[in-house]
């Protein structure tokens, strides 16, 4: 089980030689959510909204500014190096770009077996068997063909399968997939999504899928969390969010999903949005979305709206309070 409580990550900007910098880039600002064993949560938002930073904090690849992350009731942000290392096999991540996240000078065999080398006491032969098993599990058959290849000799989809194999090697309880298909050709995306779903069904692990594509989240996850400029704007069941988005930003995201049937597509309410995503360095006063929001009121310009519960969902918008 994973509990994320009020996590913040501020990056200092323009460091001065003496003293601390006064400006901060609030990449992740007060994000909280729970995920029980077997839950699947999608984190949606456009680029620069702090999705990947949040994932890094949860895995403690970077230190947050404040907040707590409980994994099986252990606050992982308070653990020492040794203890966090022991937890590593239980929480794994699939990275955005499969080519860049594999060491170009190592063979597939070496990349996968080093996971076992550092966390188990298996012999060489046993490790090789496990690696072959893994390759079969992620659909790279015959496995012997891939053992001695280098990452650049594989296709994008095959590389992502290797990354997934590395992440599930030690049966994790939490798997974070950061834009698992956005670096891939459309033709192999479906295969990778199916592989991710198979793994989810098989292991019943806690899933966090990060994507800018809400349609992908709909295919994989039960719950979703919508982020805008480091803030959580809406959280709830994905079905409800898709069918009846509350926050104007979520409505905008939903309206970007292509609908195959033109008849229905024509009937869809179009959300018009003005302007670009503002800079994180200098976010607008009040609600971060108000300069682009079609429903913006005077109140929106003054203060950031608090999260309110509406229809089993959390939303931060003055339209609902």
Does position 275 interact with another protein (CB under 8 A)? The reply is no
| Closer residue to another protein (CB): 95 or 249 | 95
Q: What is the distance between the alpha carbons of residues 51 and 95, in angstroms, rounded to a whole number?
A: 12
Does position 105 interact with another protein (CB under 8 A)? The reply is yes
Does position 118 interact with another protein (CB under 8 A)? The reply is yes
Other beta carbons less than 10 A from residue 175's beta carbon:
23
Q: What is the distance between the alpha carbons of residues 25 and 172, in angstroms, rounded to a whole number?
A: 32
Q: Which two tokens stand for residue 312?
A: 């089993």
Residues 6+ apart with CB under 8 A from 299: 286, 305, 318
- The DSSP letter of residue 160 is H
Q: What is the distance between the alpha carbons of residues 28 and 146, in angstroms, rounded to a whole number?
A: 39
Radius of gyration for the chain, computed over Cα atoms and rounded to the nearest angstrom: 21
The dihedrals phi and psi of 189, each to the nearest 5 degrees, come to -55, -45
Binding mask 147-186 for another protein (x = CB under 8 A): ----------------x--x--------------------
Among 114, 120, 182, 219, binds another protein (CB under 8 A): 114
Does position 93 interact with another protein (CB under 8 A)? The reply is yes
| Closer residue to another protein (CB): 153 or 244 | 153
**In this chain, which stretch among 35-43, 114-122, 197-205, 274-282 interacts with another protein, using CB under 8 A?**
114-122
- The DSSP letter of residue 301 is G
CB 43 within 8 A of CB 49: no
Does position 107 interact with another protein (CB under 8 A)? The reply is no
Q: Nearest approach, Cβ of 83 to another protein (angstroms)? A: 12
Does position 57 interact with another protein (CB under 8 A)? The reply is no
Does position 101 interact with another protein (CB under 8 A)? The reply is yes
Tell me which residues in 195-224 interact with another protein (CB under 8 A): none
**In this chain, which stretch among 10-18, 41-49, 95-103, 215-223 interacts with another protein, using CB under 8 A?**
95-103
| Rounded (10°) CA dihedral 10, 13, 19, 22 | -70
Q: Which two tokens stand for residue 224?
A: 């979703």
Report the length, in residues, of the chain.
321
Q: Nearest approach, Cβ of 151 to another protein (angstroms)? A: 9
Among 40, 92, 206, 251, binds another protein (CB under 8 A): 92
Does position 95 interact with another protein (CB under 8 A)? The reply is yes
Among 41, 115, 168, 193, binds another protein (CB under 8 A): 115
How far is residue 41 from each of residues 67, 216, 226, measured CA to CA in Å? 19, 12, 10
Interface with another protein (CB under 8 A): 56, 59, 61, 85, 88-89, 92-93, 95-97, 100-105, 114-115, 118-119, 163, 166
């Amino acid at each position: 089980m994973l509990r994320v409580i009020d996590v913040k990550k501020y990056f200092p900007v323009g460091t001065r030689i003496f003293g601390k910098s006064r400006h901060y880039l609030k990449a992740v600002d007060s994000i909280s959510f729970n995920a029980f064993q077997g839950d699947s949560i999608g984190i949606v938002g456009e680029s620069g909204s702090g999705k990947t930073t949040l994932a890094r904090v949860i895995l403690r690849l970077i230190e947050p500014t404040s907040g707590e992350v409980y994994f099986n009731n252990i606050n992982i942000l308070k653990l020492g190096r040794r203890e966090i290392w022991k937890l590593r096999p239980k929480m794994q991540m699939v990275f955005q770009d499969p080519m860049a996240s594999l060491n170009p000078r190592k063979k597939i065999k070496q990349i996968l077996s080093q996971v076992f080398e550092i966390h188990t006491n298996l012999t060489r032969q046993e490790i090789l068997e496990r690696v072959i098993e893994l390759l079969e599990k992620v659909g790279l058959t015959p496995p012997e063909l891939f053992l001695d290849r280098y990452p650049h000799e594989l296709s994008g989809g095959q590389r992502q399968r290797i990354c997934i194999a590395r992440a599930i090697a030690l049966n994790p309880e939490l798997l974070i997939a950061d834009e698992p298909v956005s670096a891939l050709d459309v033709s192999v995306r479906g295969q990778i999504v199916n592989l991710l779903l198979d793994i989810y069904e098989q292991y019943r692990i806690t899933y966090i899928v990060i994507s800018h594509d809400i349609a992908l989240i709909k295919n994989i996850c039960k719950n979703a969390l919508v982020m805008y400029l480091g803030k959580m704007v809406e959280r709830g069941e994905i079905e409800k969010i898709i069918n009846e988005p509350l926050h104007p930003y979520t409505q905008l995201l939903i309206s970007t999903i292509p609908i195959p049937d033109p008849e229905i597509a024509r009937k869809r309410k179009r959300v018009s949005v003005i302007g670009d995503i503002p800079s994180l360095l200098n976010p607008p006063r009040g609600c971060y979305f108000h300069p682009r929001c079609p429903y913006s009121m005077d109140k929106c310009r003054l203060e950031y709206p608090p999260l309110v519960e509406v229809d089993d969902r959390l939303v931060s918008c003055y339209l609902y309070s």
